[in-house]
Structures are given as C-alpha cells and as structure tokens.
Chain A
C-alpha cells in the first residue's frame, strides 16, 4: 500500500456526502440493465402482437442499447474513480474508516457496471441475430 495523502476537510465533505444515506447508487448500473431489458421485451412484444414495423423498432432499440451501454460506461467510470485503487492499492477495503467504505462502494458499483454491461450486450444480441417476429 502506498503512503496515504490526508484529504482536506472540504475534499472529505465533497467525496462522502454523495452516499450519505443511500445504498441506491450502487444499483444504478443494474437498473439501466433492467430498464433496457423491459424496454426491449415490452416494445418487441407489442410490436409483434399489433403488427407494427419490427425493423424500425429493432433499429431504435439497438440505438437505445448503445445509449444504455454509454450510461453504464459513465457510471462505471465514476465508480472507478471513487474506488481509486490505483492510488491506494487497496483491493479489499476491509478497514473501518469512512474512506474504506467510500472505496468499497465505488468498487462494488464498478463491478456491477461490468456485469450490467455484459447483460445489456447479451440482451441486445437477439435484436441483431433474429430478424422478425417468427
């Protein structure tokens, strides 16, 4: 572990205020996956049932998939910064200080954004591989 630089009081406040009372932030990336999943399934189901134009829907959903991946990437990047492993070298965040908790939440959010990214790619594959509503 590298030697620590003590953060200033203002830095502390800025860094830690963001997760003061909410665990919800770490689920942001999986929530994007969920929204993407529901949109794909719901829209395609209605399109097939009502005979709308499946091609347009496919293209629209693929664009949406890219947007979802972009969102997850952005969350993952922010989480990576919070985790900050390149500076602390601490992969386990086992300590009892506010900083450990902060890094841990960043680490968890980062890992969750990877898994959500894979999930979005998987769920988008049928849009690429399967043509219509057979």
Chain B
C-alpha cells in the first residue's frame, strides 16, 4: 500500500508475536550490529566533545549549568539575609540590595527553575520512552547554548554593578525609567532564554507524542511523560504573553513608544497583566515536573504501581488549565473591581482540588505499598511536608481580603518559598539521588545525603517559618534595612541563621555530587528496582540509548514483562542495527504508539554553537544600543540556521523504506502531518499565535482602560494601503498552498513559479502594511504606538515566511525538495496559515478599528 505521494506505508506484522521475539539472533551478527550502533552514536572526543548533541550530554550540561546559576543566586540570597540580620545594617547599599534581590528572583526563576525542567526532561525522557534520542537533538543543543550565553550575560551583570534592580517582575514605570542598562539586560537576556525554553518545549512535546516505543499507548505512558505534555503545553501558552510584553517594553525603552506611560495614554497595568499571565502558570510550570519526579520515585519505593493513574493525569491536566485563571491574584491590590477579584479568587481556590488529588494519590500509594525509606523517599517526604504548608498559606492568600493585609509583606516571601522549596527544590533533589545511577552510573552517599537533607530541612524551616510572623507584624518585602524596636529584630536574626544552615545543607549535597567516585564499584543495572524503561540502561554506559527499541504492553514493563531486558540487549526488538551508519529512532502514532516511520536523527556539529553565538549577539548588542552589530549578528544566525536545516533535515533518503526488525518495514521519510517536523511547526505556531494574541489583547486593553483611545483628532492608518496589504497576504497564501499542491502533483515548474511570485507578493503586503502607519507618530501616544507594533510584528513574521519560501524554491531547484519528498513546503505552508491569519487580523485592527471604536 502506498501514500498519495507514492511513499510506502508500514508493512509487515505488528504487534510482534511471542515466537518472533523468542527467535535468537546469531552471535556474530549481534556483535556486528552492536559495533555499528556504537560507531553511529559515539560521543565526540577532545575539544569536539562540545559538538555533541546527544540528549545524555546536552542534558548533563544543561543540569550542571542550571545548578551553577542556582548556587550563584543562593549566594545572593545569603548576602540579602546578612544585610537583614540586624536592624540598620549597612553591609550593602540600597542600590546593591535592589540588584541582589532582583537578580536572586530572576536567576532562580529564569536560570534555574524553568530551564531545569527542560534539562531534566532532555536527560531522562528518551530513557523513559525507550527512544534513542529526542526527535531534534540539534535543537536541544542550540537551546542549551542559548541558555548558557544568555545566562552568563544576565547573571554576569551583577559583577559590573549593572544588574537590573526593579524587582524580578520589572514593573513599569520604575523599570522603564530606570537609568543604565539593567532593565535592558533583564529584558533582552531573558527573552533570549525564553525563546530557547519554547524551543525545548516543542522538542519535548513532539518527543512525547511521536517517539514512544511501539505499544506504549497513552494509558501506559510513564506519568512523567504526561506531565511533560501538560507542562510543554503550558509553556506554549504562558511564555508568549511575556515575550509580547518584553517586545512592547523594549520598544518603550529603546524608542520611547509610550506603552506603559500614562501621560501619553499608556498603562503600566498592561505589563502587570502580561507578566502575570506568564508569571502565575510559571509557578505550576515549575511545580508539575518536580511532582512528576515524585510520581516516578514513589511507585519504586512503595514497590507497587501508582495508585490512581487516571486521577493523577486528571490532576496534571486540570492544574494545567486552572492555573491560567489565577494571574490576577498577584494584582489583588491594584484597584480592580471586586467582582473581577472574585473570579480570580474562585479559580485560585479551585486549583487546590487537583493539586490536593495528586498529593493524596501519592499518600495512598505509599500507604498501600511496602515502603523502603531510601534517600530519594526522604527528600520526597520533606517535600510533601513543606509543600502542604505552602499550600495552606496559599489558600489564605487566595482570599482577597486576607491578601489586602498580607500583600507585599514577608508573609508572601514565606509562602512563596514554602511552595517553591516544597514543590520544586526538594522533589528535584530527590530526583537527583534517584536518577544519579541512571545518569552517571554511580550512587551518591547515603550518609552525606542524610546530612544534606536534615541540614536543608531544618535550615529551611528556621529561615522561612519566622517570616510568616515577621510579615504579619508588618515587615514589608524588598526593604534593604529596617529600624530597631518593631519586634522584627530577633525574627530576622533567626531567619539569617536558618539561611546559612540551608547553605550548609547545599554544600554537603554539592560535594556529594562532584566528589571523585572512581573508586566506587560498578553499580547494578537497576539499583532501586524501578519498573519503568529508563532502568534498562546499559552499565557501563553506552551512548545509543537502548540497544533495541522494545515493544511495550504494560505500565511497568520491567516488573511485568520478564524477558524484555534480555531481549532488548540481544537486539531482538526494533532497530537493533545502524546499517547506514546513521542515527535513527522510531516514530510512532500519537494515541496507540504504532510504529509509522524511521526517523533519521542529526549528529554532532559545530553549527548549533555558532547559531547560538550569533543569536546571542542579536539579543545582547541592543542592550548597549549597538544596533548595527546586532543586525549583522542576527543575519549570521539566520545563515547558520539555514545551513544547518539545508544539510541535515528532510533530505531525500537513499531508500524509501527499510527493515527495522521483526519483519516490519517502515518508511524513512514523511511529510505533512505524519512527520515530526510538521508537528514541531504546528506547536511552535501555537506559541507564536499566543504572543500575537497578547498584542491584540493590548490594543483592546487600552481601549477599555483609557477613555482617550484613540485620542481626538489622531491620525489613522491609510485604509487603502491596509486593504492592499490584506489582498496581498491573501494572494500570497493562495500561491503558497498552490505551490505545495502543484509540486505534489508533479507540476514542478508551476510550483516554482508560485514560489517566485509568493515572496514578492508577501514582501509587498508587508511593505504596504508598514507604510500605512508611517504618517502616524508612535512616540506621541499609545494608539499609534500599538498600531506600529502590530505592523512590525506582522512584517517581521512575513520576512521569516519569505525566507522560508525562498528556501523551498532553492530546495526545488537543487533537488532537496521533489514532488515525492516535500516535507519543507508542507511546513512552510503551515507557517503561512498562521501568519496569514495574524496578518489579516492586523489589517482588520488597523483598517477597521478607527471607525468602529
């Protein structure tokens, strides 16, 4: 059977029968296969080690870098605590103190908590899914290098006394009017990292949906994978509003467009909305993956399957949704109507239900099982205790009248640290102890681990428990000193002592992590007796992920499928070989994980490093207003990325299908909805559309918030040009989709003609749209400013679309894209579906709004 394009469909028996699996592979063949696999997946040596893109390497670097950033942010916290230890202290100046608490919060959030989710997932997920690697390894590597460059840039600013100092939420006008580069460093550096986060989210979602082992239906997925799906989805809808906010903020900082300046019609509240639409789900983006680690540890220590699998899935998905209805509880004191506060208070209380269900499912599993108190379990118990406490104060704070009292006091500081330590730090450390044998093939010390736990646990409570009282007695957050005699002195002293006890706990933990372990004996393969696929890993380490990709029929295959590991090792399952010397993994269907394709996976390269370095330049140079180097850097980044895509992705394969073992033949190439690239584009576009929707929301926000929008006698966009742009975008869309269809039908010349015309028309449309607003002055009022912002956003996206169309044209001319192998044009037309819709919305807003408002 063949596909419309002439590509073959999967052929052969599936699922494999017991007899097929029982068949032995001859010894010499088995060794030859293993050698070929080992060669294809070899980790580069020497300086070329930096070119590695394999999930195990990139994941390790990612985790270590996040750990270093966390330790730096922890040192800042210690300085903050020292300054507050006694009243009227002058250890650091007020300005330095502002930099410290701003960087402490920003670094903990953006350089530790969020990237760590991606770091851990990149490291562990392929193992849990029995995949060789994630579908886009170079994208992970690119994301990592972006994170490293951006992180060093942002955190380094504190050593030059140039760090941001307006609080980690960067409220305007304080932040917009702040002198010096601090605010720009925050905005550009962190936007850069957010882009990398979204890239990783795309990778993880596609990996979970399409790279599961054959037979791992959605009801058999490890719970961690469910959480990855939910959190990945949340990142796609939570981060883009902040990126849109950053875009507006930087336009105000750099070009004086008054988005947040009330004297010219702007409104600082828009920033607060956009920031907290990101900022609240963010808390759950941090919390859920850490809880997912608990969901992997608990069944192992309880030695029984998790209790209430469906209930935990419900909690993950439910929390994912409800957490988007909470952002205004950070804005209870901004003077919104009380009925609006009521909606958010209600949603804040409702989210307790799914969160509670997760905790109860864990407790039930522990109670029903025979628990062995291992180190990971010790940290999980600490996490449950601390998180419950933070949850209780959370219920209090979700009630608006209580929040009015406690707002911006140390009570909030106590609450947020209880939720974040209990919900994130403790479970993650539990995960480090639990997964260390998987990651490094060594175990960590039980004695040191217990020391680290008890120091951290007591230190934590010593530090943050008194803060509830300090706050209720009126001590505001973010003050750099306070007068004596208000009853805060001894409470602050205790908190400072506690902070140093925590630091001691971390010191023990970090020492245990980095101390040399050469003399430790080799560990057994599955030291905890876990039931999920990551524990089939090879000891000593092999870089191939799994020797052969197994067929799964249970939730805990290591417990329930007795012969599986031995058969995996013997290469009796899928893809036991790398005949062409290429890296490959299986792609399966979304719901039932039936094998559909062999995916060629990219290998080591320098290009990701270069691309990240130039992307970094494009974001970092504007901080110092060096726009020319920024533009050059951006252009070079685009060239690098084009080069990387051209040489490594969607190349026509040497054969249409190949034998993957057990009599199954799978296609080697896919285009459109069955390819992973198409899914990645679709998911990226969801995030992009969310950012765009936030801008449009901004337009209507100004309309409701300001009686003077649009201002009397304001100049409006040129309606004729806007109409022309709309027509051009529509024509461009027809040409692009037409090119895809014509190409598939074999009318290559006609398709090329469309691909020559389409970029011209799109560029014309973008030019017309930008020209239509040229007569208005964006610095005069927020009305022209937001119209300019919409026009620029659309034009930039059209620019990206034009590059993609030309890429397809070149692909068609040079034989990379043919009627049979047309994945590129599928992805590009998908991109243009989204851009066309947003362009038409821009045209509607620019052309119709002046008359309608």
Contact = CB atoms under 8 A, between A and B. Distances in A.
Interface of A: 19-23, 26-27, 30-31, 33-34, 37, 40-41, 44-46, 48-50, 54, 92-96, 98, 100-101, 104-105, 107-108, 111-112, 115-116, 118-119, 122-123, 125-127, 129-130, 132-134
Given A115-B318, A115-B353, A115-B354, A96 B591 contact: no
Contacts of A92: 305, 309-310
Contacts of B318: 30, 112, 115-116
Given A49-B704, A115-B353, A123-B346, A44 B337 contact: yes
A19 B336 CA distance: 43
Interface centre among B311, B343, B555 (most CB of A within 10 A): B343
Contact of A119 (B209, B320, B347): B347
A93 B310 contact: yes
A40 B554 CA distance: 43
Given A101-B217, A101-B218, A96 B554 contact: yes
A94 B305 contact: yes
A126 B346 contact: yes
Contacts of B325: 34, 37, 119, 123
Interface string B544-578: 00000000111100000000000000000000000
A37 B324 CA distance: 10
Contacts of A95: 553-554
B317 A27 contact: yes
B203 to A, nearest CB: 18
A125 B217 contact: no
A22 B589 CA distance: 10
B340 A22 contact: no
B314 interface: yes
Contacts of B14: none
A101 B350 contact: no
B338 interface: yes
Contacts of A30: 317-318, 320-322
A46 B339 CA distance: 12
Contact of B337 (A50, A94, A112, A133): A133
B219 A104 contact: yes
Contacts of B346: 122-123, 125-126
A118 B704 contact: no
Nearest to B560: A94
A93 B219 CA distance: 7
B339 A133 contact: yes
Nearest to A40: B343
Say which size band chain B's interface belongs to: 35 or more
B376 to A, nearest CB: 24
Contacts of A118: 350, 353
Contacts of A50: 704
Interface in B5-50: none
A102 to B, nearest CB: 9
A127 B339 contact: yes
A119 B339 contact: no
A37 B346 CA distance: 10
Interface centre among B314, B552, B705 (most CB of A within 10 A): B314
Contact of A111 (B314, B342, B554, B592): B314
Given A37-B347, A49-B704, A21 B591 contact: yes
Interface in B299-319: 305, 309-311, 313-314, 317-318
A111 B310 contact: yes
Nearest to B552: A96
B324 A34 contact: yes
6 contacts: A30-B321, A95-B554, A104-B218, A104-B310, A122-B350, A123-B350
Given A21-B589, A33-B321, A37-B325, A134 B337 contact: yes
Given A92-B305, A119-B347, A123-B350, 14 more contacts: A34-B324, A45-B336, A49-B705, A92-B310, A93-B309, A93-B310, A94-B219, A94-B220, A111-B314, A112-B318, A115-B353, A118-B350, A123-B347, A133-B339
Interface in B330-358: 336-347, 349-350, 353-354
A15 B354 CA distance: 29
A27 B234 CA distance: 13
A104 B591 CA distance: 12
Nearest to B348: A122
A21 B339 CA distance: 41
Nearest to B314: A111
A107 B310 contact: yes
Interface in B204-258: 209, 215, 217-220, 229
Given A22-B590, A105-B219, A134 B338 contact: yes
B217 A100 contact: yes
B340 A44 contact: yes
Contacts of B322: 30, 33, 115, 119
A79 B325 CA distance: 25
Contacts of B220: 94, 96, 101
B215 A23 contact: no
B340 A41 contact: yes
Contact of A129 (B215, B305, B324, B342): B342
Nearest to A83: B310
Contacts of A31: 321
Contact of A44 (B314, B320, B339, B705): B339
B555 A94 contact: yes
A31 B237 CA distance: 13
A80 to B, nearest CB: 13
The 7 A-B residue pairs whose C-beta atoms are closest, nearest first, are A126-B342, A96-B553, A104-B219, A111-B314, A30-B321, A122-B346, A101-B217
A94 B310 contact: no
Interface centre among A19, A48, A95, A122 (most CB of B within 10 A): A122
Given A111-B310, A122-B347, A123-B346, A23 B218 contact: yes
B343 to A, nearest CB: 5
Contacts of A48: 337, 339-340
Contact of A41 (B320, B343, B589): B343
Nearest to B706: A49
Given A44-B343, A122-B350, A133-B339, A98 B310 contact: no
A119 B350 contact: yes
A106 to B, nearest CB: 9
B381 to A, nearest CB: 25
Contacts of A34: 321, 324-325
Nearest to B311: A111
Contacts of B338: 130, 133-134
A26 B311 CA distance: 13
Contacts of B305: 92, 94
Contacts of A122: 346-347, 349-350
A115 B354 CA distance: 8
Contacts of B341: 126
A93 B320 CA distance: 23
Nearest to A120: B350
